[in-house]
Amino acid sequence: MFPNNNSSHSQPTKFNLVQVKGTWIRQTEQCRLAEGKLSDAKIYENKSEHGVSWTVVSPIVFTYRVIQCKNILDPRNDTLLWGHLGDEELKGTISNSKPVKRFVVIDETVNHLYGSQVIRYFQAREVAYKILPLPTTEENKCMELVTKILEEVHEFGIDRRSEPIIAIGGGVCLDVVGLAASLYRRRTPYIRVPTTLLSYVDASVGAKTGVNFAGGKNKLGSYVPPVATFLDRSFLQTLPPRQISNGMAEMLKMALMKHRSLFELLEAEGGKLLHTRLQSCESNNSSEHEDSSTASTRIAIETMLEELAPNLWEDDLDRLVDFGHLISPELEMRVLPALLHGEAVNIDMSFMVYVAHQRGLVTADEKDRIIRCMLGLELPVWHQECTLALVQKSLKERLKHSAGSLRMPLPTGLGHAEIFHDMIEENILCQAYQKWTDELASSGNK
């Protein structure tokens, strides 16, 4: 129901919008003047003694694809060029005689490893291309990097509807390119090709873009999803083990929040997954058998999409995916570059598991199993810079920016969670912190 702010005023008049021969016409449901294309948008008109007001309600619908594939840089594979298009769109595009152009932003490290393959791909497909390698690190995640991309895109020249910008790299690269694309001519389509495990299961499948600003993590950004994300696990082969652990923290987050079977898989096989870099064994690649590498990444992505898709713009601040993200932003920025994002998230999750235990939400056995699983994934579970003062400050900041409610996701068992709105009692917070420090400070972690 449309709200009426003044009960003394008449109810607003609702107008539908109909397009007839290229012209949009507003009409009430009772008085249809013409038949034509009906918009989902509505206009509400309210007349009062002070004048007239109009309220526009216009839903925005985004459609984007998340595609798992193999050998994305093989010139015989169409995915990188056309995977973002539906069948009908593809027919129209291929029948067009216009030369194909692509602008690619690639992380510098990834460029050293895969840049020559990207070049060979576009040359084999006779694509006019520009490849821009950039140092996309957390320390460099700023508006200057966005401006650099925009200048290069402008000089190269692209059609903002039919020539998507391609981002190849980790989460920072995907975030920065996404923000640049959302700004260029008000919105240009872009494609994400994640090359780290963390970006594979987290940054690549949502709508957020952003850069750091004024000492805060992702203080500037937008909610504009890519037209497509292409997931190729073979990129993970060249990652150092620490980067694999870093991404497994986000997989563990989803397991703890909503998927006990994924937790048990990480608990039992996490070490093997880590050391094989989540590569599938060729002998286990039959369609009837899903190996642990494929299953764990699939479940992580499916559970992430379940939580993100209904709430892409974060209109609802009750978000299970915020587990591990209450304290970690402050910790990560304070010690940068000592901790990777997933490592900071895991330290946050580790502490919050102790809070959950102190509140009687998880048993001592469940707490211990979770910590053992984290250590098995070679993730840090404690950090000397994560002081009680930092925890208290982070929670107060969270409260300030969460519409008067803390909104804290906490595990209520293995694979189950709830969002708690009340501020943690000071004695529980202090007791949890003391036990966390007493039990884990000597664990040999950072």
Task: Report, as an integer, the average pLDDT of 104-123.
Answer: 98
Of the pLDDT bands very low, low, confident and very high (cuts 50, 70, 90), residue 406 is: confident
pLDDT in tens, 344-374: 999 999 999 999 999 999 999 999 999 999 9
Which CATH number describes the domain made up of 242-440? 1.20.1090.10
- What is the share, in percent, of the chain residues with pLDDT greater than 90? 82
Helical spans, DSSP H, in 87-235: 87-94, 108-124, 143-156, 171-183, 197-201
Of the pLDDT bands very low, low, confident and very high (cuts 50, 70, 90), residue 91 is: low
Q: How far apart are CA 136 and CA 119, in angstroms?
A: 20
Q: Are 56 and 41 in contact (CB under 8 A)?
A: yes
pLDDT in tens, 31-89: 876 788 999 999 999 999 899 999 999 998 889 999 999 999 999 999 999 999 987 78
Of the pLDDT bands very low, low, confident and very high (cuts 50, 70, 90), residue 405 is: confident
pLDDT in the model for residue 403:
74
Task: Report, as an integer, the average pLDDT of 190-216.
Answer: 95
Q: Do domains 65-238 and 242-440 have the same CATH topology?
A: no
Catalytic residues: 208
Choose the weakest-confidence range: 35-39, 248-252, 368-372, 386-390.
Answer: 35-39
Of the pLDDT bands very low, low, confident and very high (cuts 50, 70, 90), residue 13 is: very high
Q: Which of 345, 346, 367 is nearest to 358 (CA)?
A: 367
CA 349 to chain centre: 18
Of the pLDDT bands very low, low, confident and very high (cuts 50, 70, 90), residue 99 is: confident
CA atoms within 13 A on the CB side of 374: 29
pLDDT in the model for residue 446:
47
Q: Which of 53, 45, 44, 41 is nearest to 17 (CA)?
A: 41
Order of strands, sheet of 128-134, starting from the edge strand that comes earlier in the sequence:
65-68, 228-231, 190-194, 165-169, 101-107, 128-134
**CA end-to-end span of the chain:** 53
Task: Report, as an integer, the average pLDDT of 160-180.
Answer: 96
Above 90 in pLDDT, residue 284?
no
pLDDT in the model for residue 1:
43
Higher pLDDT, 285 or 246: 246
Q: How far apart are CA 278 and CA 301, in angstroms?
A: 14
Which CATH number describes the domain made up of 65-238? 3.40.50.1970
Above 70 in pLDDT, residue 133?
yes
Average pLDDT, rounded, for the chain: 92
pLDDT in the model for residue 402:
78
Of the pLDDT bands very low, low, confident and very high (cuts 50, 70, 90), residue 95 is: low
For β-strands 190-194 and 165-169, DSSP reports them as: parallel
Task: Report, as an integer, the average pLDDT of 19-27.
Answer: 92
Domain limits of the chain? 13-57, 65-238, 242-440
Q: Are 165 and 130 in contact (CB under 8 A)?
A: no
Task: Report, as an integer, the average pLDDT of 309-321.
Answer: 92
